[in-house]
Copies of this chain bind each other. A is one copy, B any other.
Amino acid sequence: MEQPTMKEVVSNDRLITGLSEHNDQDIDRLCTNAMRGLAMDAIQQANSGHPGMPLGIADTAYVLWTRFMKHNPSDPDWANRDRFVLSAGHGSMLLYSLLHLSGYDLSLDDIKQFRQWGSKTAGHPEYRRTPGVETTTGPLGQGVANAVGMALAERYMATMFNRPNYPIVDHFTYVVCSDGDLMEGISYEAASLAGHLQLGKLICLYDSNGISIDGSTDLTFTENTSQRFLAHGWHVQEIDGHAMAEVERALEQARADTTRPSLIICRTHIGYGSPNRQDSAKSHGEALGVEEVRLTKQALGWPEEPLFYVPDEVYASMRQVITTGTQQQRDWDDLMGRYRESYPDLAVLWDHVQAGDLPDNWDTALPTFEDSMGAAATRSVSGQIINALAPLLPTLIGGSADLTGSNNTEIKGTDALQGDNFAGRNIFFGVREHAMGAILNGMALHGGMLPYCGTFLIFSDYMRPAMRLAAMMGLQVIYVFTHDSIGLGEDGPTHQPIEQLATLRAVPNLHVIRPADAYETAIAWRAALEHRDGPTALILTRQKVPMLKRGVLNGQSHGPLAAASGALRGGYVLYSPPKPDVLLLASGSEVSLALEATRLLAERNIAARVVSMPCWELFEQQDQVYRESVLPPGLTARVAIEAGLTFGWERYTGSRGVAIGIDHFGASAPYQDLYKQFGLTAEQIVKVAMQLVTA
């Protein structure tokens, strides 16, 4: 399709000299030029950023924001707003321009601080830093999957809360994505699931400019995108992204198709308007340069000075959304008011889940366990807990990446969530771990939801980028990672986590909890539900582990074990003689080994303390007095035991201590053989402890 030449886009004379005489088309150009001007100036001032995308997709985004998006800049948190995700987060100045010009709490001074320390206008959009930013984006593909999660949450919440004539949850989710987003595997996974789930209120605007950082997409990305999305079951349109009427018509049609998610392929020119950089990879990732900014403004018919120029007409036009959005929200408030009268119980529940509150005494629903209970896999106990909590927490929903039975993630007695049944609480994510993680983020970002998901611990590697963003955004999502060590046995090294515990502990703001028995598993779930400002990974066994009997003597040689509630502090003294000679630390399935070693050591007149350490992050949050009460500085004979990498345990063993673990890949064999072959035995602990004590 022919693109208008730059000269045709607008008549310089008319725009610059005749601002007061514009017609509708003029104001559109004025607004999009203001957006482009702000993007260029901010990036130039920072001498850092990505101008190509804001220049290229401005027309499309402008149409969406001014003619379709339901939002209220005065209240970015309005529950029923349309969601907007800029998956191509490098184009952050597009979003900041829109937010500023639409009247969000983002000033021109903020724009001028683009990419500076402490500013509201970070290099990539950051959730919670900037009002109106719905999710942190930048790592490509994540935003697309976040949007799928938001759209899924909308359908789930709508199904739960809407009643005839009370569409209190009823909004679209829009996402703008780039070539790069669509090259990432996560975008295929997410799109495939979105098509399957018939998420008709998800609309993706694809900024198809044919350019990525390395040059033309012809270099590597020549698939038929339209056909690809059709294969996923999407509604697909292809338009000129600079032709506002086409954008408008396409958005109307996309919104009208309520059973298929929509892809609108918007053909655009990256770096639109830049005489020397338009349609070039050069416009992608660096400031245009002072001279080229000048030339581009000329070409667009925009005054070169002042920088950060916004005519009053632009504000007047684009901030009309404050009025309309406020009115829309007021109407919704009225609706909600009537809803409260008609459905008081639902309204109370609505308030609860919107606030993210847990019901009073929710924890009384946690199953209680008995010392007399036999050995049990912690994954199985976790399944019991999920099912005990589910009736109390109606927005606790989740699923697995095709390992539902193994992960014990099913909420029994409820349906599969499907395109024709959004009352279902069991999501079948498919073997799509990466999208699963990012969809969970979208669900949490949407609000009202308490999402969890499961896979084998080893496959957390497939979803790390999404987990990192959950941690960065401080989202409450819960990962149920089962099959947590060589304890899974025969499936072998490809399936046996070795370094995964260490690498998850390395993620800031992610709580990693590896309970030792059923008691601690209940504590782990409690901690996860109470960890409101970040994700939690529950690390659970495939194999059965003994119940650590709390109320009675453990074996012949030592007194009762401490209550599992100590696990809430991350680490606690599970058992200690009055004067321990040696300290054994362990997590999960290895705690029972440590206890067994304690018994054997006692036979040799060596007194061992056992510290159960299910969660390093929680332990680090305790004060020094507590930490030293658990790990007395004077007790330097320490042995850590964990069926994983020893990496990092030095923090607790100290210079003199020793960590017993597995610093190599696993092997395929029955797990009992592996524990023996790899030296994870009570006998080995005894040997190492003896060496330390007698050294």
Nearest-CB residue, chain B, relative to A499: B506
A639-695 interface with B by 8 A CB criterion? 645, 647-648, 650-651, 654-656, 663-665, 667-670, 673-674, 677
Most B CB within 10 A of own CB, among A118, A186, A214: A214
A383-420 interface with B by 8 A CB criterion? 400, 402-406, 416, 418
Nearest-CB residue, chain B, relative to A468: B461
State A140–B469 Cα separation when bound (angstroms).
23
Interface residue total, chain A, C-beta cutoff 8 A: 112
Is there an interface contact between A494 and B223, defined as CB atoms closer than 8 Å? no
State A227–B404 Cα separation when bound (angstroms).
29
Identical copies of this chain, number? 2
Supposing A48-B489, A186-B185, A195-B223 touch, asked if A89 and B506 sit within 8 A by C-beta, the answer is no
Nearest-CB residue, chain B, relative to A184: B431
Supposing A220-B428, A674-B117 touch, asked if A403 and B213 sit within 8 A by C-beta, the answer is yes
Nearest-CB residue, chain B, relative to A472: B665
Cβ of A137 under 8 Å from chain B: yes
State A110–B117 Cα separation when bound (angstroms).
62
Among A9-17, A56-64, A120-128, A349-357, the one that faces the other chain is: A120-128
Q: Contact mask A133-147 → B, CB, 8 Å, 1/0?
A: 000111111000000
Is there an interface contact between B213 and A124, defined as CB atoms closer than 8 Å? no
Nearest-CB residue, chain B, relative to A178: B431
User: Could you tell me the distance in whole angstroms from the C-beta of A49 to the nearest C-beta in chain B?
Assistant: 7
State A660–B429 Cα separation when bound (angstroms).
41
What residues on B are CB-neighbors of A141 within 8 Å?
A: 431
Cβ of A193 under 8 Å from chain B: yes
State A665–B123 Cα separation when bound (angstroms).
14
State A677–B117 Cα separation when bound (angstroms).
9
What residues on B are CB-neighbors of A382 within 8 Å?
A: none
Is there an interface contact between A122 and B505, defined as CB atoms closer than 8 Å? no
State A188–B233 Cα separation when bound (angstroms).
16
User: Could you tell me the distance in whole angstroms from the C-beta of A82 to the nearest C-beta in chain B?
Assistant: 24
State A192–B180 Cα separation when bound (angstroms).
13
What residues on B are CB-neighbors of A230 within 8 Å?
A: 224, 227, 231
What residues on B are CB-neighbors of A655 within 8 Å?
A: 636, 654-656
A81-128 interface with B by 8 A CB criterion? 89-90, 115-119, 122-124, 126
Cβ of A244 under 8 Å from chain B: no
A173-232 interface with B by 8 A CB criterion? 179-181, 183-189, 192-193, 195-196, 212-214, 219-228, 230-232
State A140–B455 Cα separation when bound (angstroms).
13
Select one of B221, B226, B462 contacting A465, CB under 8 A: B462
Interface residues in chain A, defined as those with a beta carbon under 8 Å from any beta carbon in chain B: 46, 48-49, 89-90, 115-119, 122-124, 126, 136-141, 179-181, 183-189, 192-193, 195-196, 212-214, 219-228, 230-233, 400, 402-406, 416, 418, 428-435, 458-459, 461-462, 464-465, 468-469, 471-472, 489-495, 498-499, 502-503, 505-509, 636, 645, 647-648, 650-651, 654-656, 663-665, 667-670, 673-674, 677
Q: List 14 additional A-B contacts (Cβ < 8 Å) besides A117-B673, A185-B435.
A: A122-B668, A123-B492, A126-B493, A139-B459, A184-B462, A213-B402, A213-B406, A221-B430, A227-B230, A503-B506, A506-B647, A508-B665, A647-B651, A650-B650
- Sorted nearest first, the 8 A-B pairs with minimum C-beta distance are A185-B185, A138-B494, A117-B669, A227-B231, A122-B668, A188-B188, A220-B430, A650-B650
